[in-house]
Structure 1
Amino acid sequence: MMYRIGVDVGGTNTDAVIIDENLKLVENVKMPTTEDISTGIYNAIEAVLEKSGIDRKKIRYAMLGTTQCTNAIVERKKLCKVGILRLGSPATHSIEPMIDWPEDLRGAVSENYHILKGGYEFDGREITSFDEQEIREAVRSMKGKVDAIAIACVFAPVRSEHEYMAADIVREELGDVSISLSNEVASMGLLERENATILNSALMKVAETVTEGFIEALRKQGVDSAEVYLCQNDGTLMSVEFTRKFPILTVACGPTNSIRGASFLSELKNAIVIDVGGTTTDIGVIVNSFPRESSLAADVGGARTNFRMPDIIAIGLGGGTIIRENEGAVKIGPDSVGYKLREKALVFGGDTLTATDIAVRLGMSQIGDSSLVEHIDMDFARDTMDKMMEKVEDGIDRMKLSAEPVPVVLVGGGGILVRDSLKGVSQVIKPENYPVANAIGSAIAQVSGTFEKLFTIGDGLTREDALQQSKEEAIEMTVRAGADERTVEIVDVEDVPLAYHTGNATRIKVKAAGDLRI
């Protein structure tokens, strides 16, 4: 019997699970997240391995879902200095790169940018010819001043040759430097795509630290023969090498893992998922067993981007949310005791009234010492719970696409806070092992491949031909990423005609996913 280990890092807890080759849960643990993140990961791995007692050599795969890249952007820490090359002169000088970024984020990443000749019109014609000497001089001026390079070309999703030509020059001048190309990172929309590309480059060092730290934690526990993967925000896995190239794709992977875990545990392919953690409650939607993708520009640390993100709303309600009474009115959060719940909450002998204390007072949970919250007025507790549920029900309504009642899958360690009956909900499902759904989501995650291209229909190429070609490419990418070819399926197809493009053009995007090879 072979096994896989899944780890998911949250703001309050770091969860770890071990499942067997039949995807049956063998063991799970929930450990406090530590300030340095890595120690919490190591502690969780150590605890789940000791608790299971399995042979370390039989662990075939190890998966990690982590918030470290997100935290680096939000906290403006450990980011690379990025040199930015925008190919689009003279058409794009009116708006500088990072123009709408918060000043502290811009300062942490870079103000070293050049707007150079090159780029394309929407129909693939060059704006201006590629100027090798101009780019070479710009790159030389960055030598010793930057850690990574971001290259963005106008309409790169239509044609990307200029980006690759510029990347070749960067390698010639700067050697083995990390490079991000916008056509590989995000989709249409120059500024949002450029922002995503810059952030991707800024995260290169963080990605290297995360992957090396996870591998080292496994090695110290004797897990040195497992294939290592990290979770990305579409609910699938990516290799260590891929993670180091596209670290931006780990942003928001935590809620995604919970959605995938909720689908797996509940056996539902379509539902709303409520993931209640220690600090926030994330509400998302399962569509064909995968998270619904957001159609809006994603704000990452104050920068607008257009790379794929799960459609998630977060509300300030979790197990550690601080409850206050202000002139007879209940105030819920938004601050939380976070990973200090077990020392700060009243039921654990602390001095801070939290949402967990309210749930224990109402008999919804037996966590800690219930005698320590008997002094809380029962009417106050009920009023507080009503207001907490109003927050949850409002979040559900915002995620629904119709007024019809929908099933809700409840997961996360803070799931004790949610009532069994909610407005607008047909049923509330709390599956077995729901507190560690996020780690289970990382452990059972599949491998995926996404192919996106602009096709001009005509001259012998039909829409059906373009779709078939895209599906074959997506399947091939998935197999190359480590999937068992026999299990690969097409899970999403987008076919969007482009009215503004000359000719009969359409943008086709196909995603395939499959199980890891056993």
Structure 2
Amino acid sequence: MIIGLDMGGTHTDVALLENGEIYKKTKYPRQEDFLESILIPLDQIMEGEDPLAIERVLLSTTLSTNAIVEGKLGKVGMVLEPGPGLNLDYLNSIFPVCFISGYIDHRGREKFSLDMDEVRSAGRHMKEKGAQYLGIVGKFSTRNPLHEKKIYETIGPSFSYSTLGHTLSGNLNYPRRIYTSYLNSGVWEIYKQFLKAIKYSLGERKIKAPLYILKADGGTLAGDAALLRPVETVLSGPAASIMGAMALEDIEEDGIILDIGGTTTDIAFLADGVPLFEPRGIEVSGFKTLIRGLYSRPCGVGGDSLVELKDGQLKIGPERLGPAAAFGGSSPTPTDAMVIKGIYKEGSRSKAIEGLKPLADKKGVSVEEMADMIYEKTADIIVENINRYLGEVNSRPVYTIHELLHGKKLAPQKVILVGAPAPAFAEPVSKKLGIPCILPEGFEAANALGAALSRVTTELTVVADTQERTLVVGEEGIREKIPSNFSKKDAEKVLFSYLRERCIKMGGDPSSPMEIIEEEEFNVVRGFYTSGKIIRLKGQIKPGIRGDYGA
């Protein structure tokens, strides 16, 4: 059996799976105590079950996302090697920075060596600034991590944790790699304490199964492996709903996935049945990163969104002040409207009426008319956001988790609805969009299911320079010699070999499907002659549902 657990903004959803099917499920209101929000529903679903029968525990958590959004990061100092011609002084307003004067060029060649006295001075300066954690990022460290490693060896051990930029991504975007490294070190301590508490709590419950954490790209990695790159766990909630919806409903055409929660509605798109991808990396609280992630956009309206009258007009969301009035809350919500209309069968209708009556009186309509207005307005907001984000997608190249679709324009043919309030909105959303809305069996536990069934994923970048006779595996910090006749086929073999090893280190199955997602090959010309080639390949373990569950 497998436990899948998704911790959202309003509720924690837990599903217990047996033979790939949902065997039990539960939902628990989010508590102030983060750990309590996980352990109480875990205990509920494990009641009467044999803990030794659990094969895996998979968790999607908002822990890292919340730490970033709420500004609760550890104090991180950044040691940067930008090289000539790049002014990054603006970063001093965001975090403590020391600029180092060495330089590795775009081919991985050392042009200026490090001044080790300068490096040691940078370490002392960061200590004086109160930094407990370190980010070390060179502009072209993905081509040669020599300087990042030397800086770490010199000052890194005196800090609680250090992130080396080349380990997080093989991509060259330097500002994004700086921000990604900063956030990774910033969330490390809170993730470390969380992991320790979760592992202890599972042990107390005699659950000895391995723990996996969901990532933003819809894949997972082992809990201990995530301790090296906790930033990859941000925005895993939307990824969980996308993977869960795909597990529940087969779709081969363009489509929309709506995860309607208590606070927000997450909107995602499928191109020919494949989730869209953020090609450059996701953005978190204003930080543009190199974190791989599925395309998903929030809409600030959900079942428990606050409903107000502003200048005589209905305003729904984005605030949430607690549960619906029908469930003991103090503020009117769309859920109260659905209870009054009889669409939502749970909750107290009399309390819902009491919650909506002040709005109805102020507007000069009956409570029932106010419920109709709120219901229609909520559906309108969702559809308006779908159309806005669809326009955004179709205004630029369309990337899926597998490839760039040249000239593709999405034309959704159906909507897959998941989340507890989903049944209430199937009809109005379908009517307003003019396409069918599908409510798959198990829709209310889609997020937990997605977390439970997602396979371990990772990516690697290989750059071979046959003129320099060097090969670099950026994320692994490997730089080795190659012959001058090294070919793209040789690069593919090296890439897949290291990718398989990396997958195993992250707790994955070495037989997981691998693919090349980016490839470049061009000649190096000196004078009038070709003197070598540069070959760049990026490969990944394909995100998707675990093969042993046949989805």
| Compared CA separation, residues 295 and 450, structure 1 to 2 (3 A) | closer
How much has 1:372 moved relative to structure 2?
Answer: 4.2
Residues 177 and 289 in structure 2, CA contact (< 8 A), matched pair in contact too: yes
1-side partners of 2:186 and 2:414: how far apart?
40
**Which residue of 290, 314, 331 corresponds with 1:306?**
290
Which of 517, 532, 535 is equivalent to 1:493? 517
Q: Report the equivalent of 2:310.
A: 326
Deviation of the 1:331 alpha carbon: 1.1
Code of the residue aligned with 1:510 in structure 2: it is G
Gaps of 5+ in 1: none
The answer as to 2:229 corresponding to 1:229 is no
Deviates more, 1:418-427 or 1:328-337: 418-427
- TM-score by length of structure 1 reads 0.86
Give 1:235 shift.
1.2
Opposite residue 541 of structure 2, the aligned amino acid is A
Q: CA deviation at 1:261?
A: 0.8
- 1:30 alignment counterpart: 27
Residue correspondence of structure 1 range 68-467 to structure 2 within 5 A: 68-77=63-72, 79-92=73-86, 94-96=87-89, 98-99=91-92, 106=94, 110-111=95-96, 113-143=97-127, 145-171=130-156, 174=158, 177-186=160-169, 187-223=171-207, 225-268=208-251, 271-286=255-270, 291-296=275-280, 298-337=282-321, 340-341=322-323, 345-373=324-352, 377-397=367-387, 398-399=389-390, 401=394, 402=409, 404-420=411-427, 421-424=430-433, 426-456=435-465, 459-467=484-492
Give SS of 1:234's match. coil
Q: How many pairs align?
A: 493
Pairing 1:7–2:5 present: yes
Q: For residue 71 of structure 1, what is the amino acid of its counterpart?
A: N
Q: Which residue in the other structure is 1:48 paired with? A: 45
1:25-80 C-alpha deviation (Å, 9 max, x unpaired): 11111001111211111111111111xx2111111211211111111111122x22
Q: 3-state SS of the aligned residue for 2:103? A: coil
Deviations 1:254-293 (A, max 9, x none): 1101111111111336632111111111111346877422
Give the whole-Å Cα distance in 2 for the aligned partners of 1:148 and 1:501.
43
**Could you say what secondary structure the match of 1:334 adopts?**
coil
* Superposed CA offset, 1:171-225 (max 9, x none): 4x62x731101111233221121011011111111111111121123223232x1
Q: Which residue of 54, 60, 72 corresponds with 2:55?
A: 60
Relative distance call for 1:403 and 1:228 in structure 2 (3 A) is closer
1:221 aligned partner, one-letter code? R
Match of 2:541 among 487, 512, 518: 512
Determine the C-alpha separation between the residues in 1 that align with 2:461 and 2:6.
29
SS of alignment partner, residue 28 of structure 1: strand
Cα 1:30–1:278, aligned 2, differ >3 Å: closer, same or farther? same
Q: CA 1:180/1:516 → structure 2, altered by over 3 Å: closer, same or farther? A: farther
Provide the C-alpha distance between the structure 2 equivalents of 1:479 and 1:516, rounded to a whole number of angstroms: 16
Q: Structure 1 residues 205, 369: closer, same or farther in 2, change over 3 A?
A: same
Q: Deviations over 1:425-446 (max 9, x none)?
A: 6321111121111111111121
What is the rounded CA distance, in whole Å, between the counterparts of 1:491 and 1:396 in structure 2? 31
2:500 matched residue in structure 1: 475
Identify the range of structure 1 (429-438 vs 404-413) with the bigger mean alpha-carbon deviation: 404-413
- In structure 2, how many angstroms separate the alpha carbons of the residues matched to 1:207 and 1:287? 34
Moved more, 371-380 or 158-167: 371-380
Q: TM-score scaled to structure 2, two decimals?
A: 0.82
RMSD: 2.9
Relative distance call for 1:97 and 1:450 in structure 2 (3 A) is farther
Pair 1:501–1:156, CA change in 2 (3 A): farther
Q: In 1, distance between residues paired with 2:537 and 2:21?
A: 37
The answer (yes or no) to whether the contact 1:81–1:147 under 8 Å persists in 2 is yes
Instruction: Report the Cα distance in structure 1 between the residues aligned to 2:461 and 2:350, rounded to whole angstroms.
Output: 59
**Pair 178,287 (structure 1): closer, same or farther in 2 beyond 3 Å:** farther
Tell me the CA shift for residue 506 of structure 1.
5.0
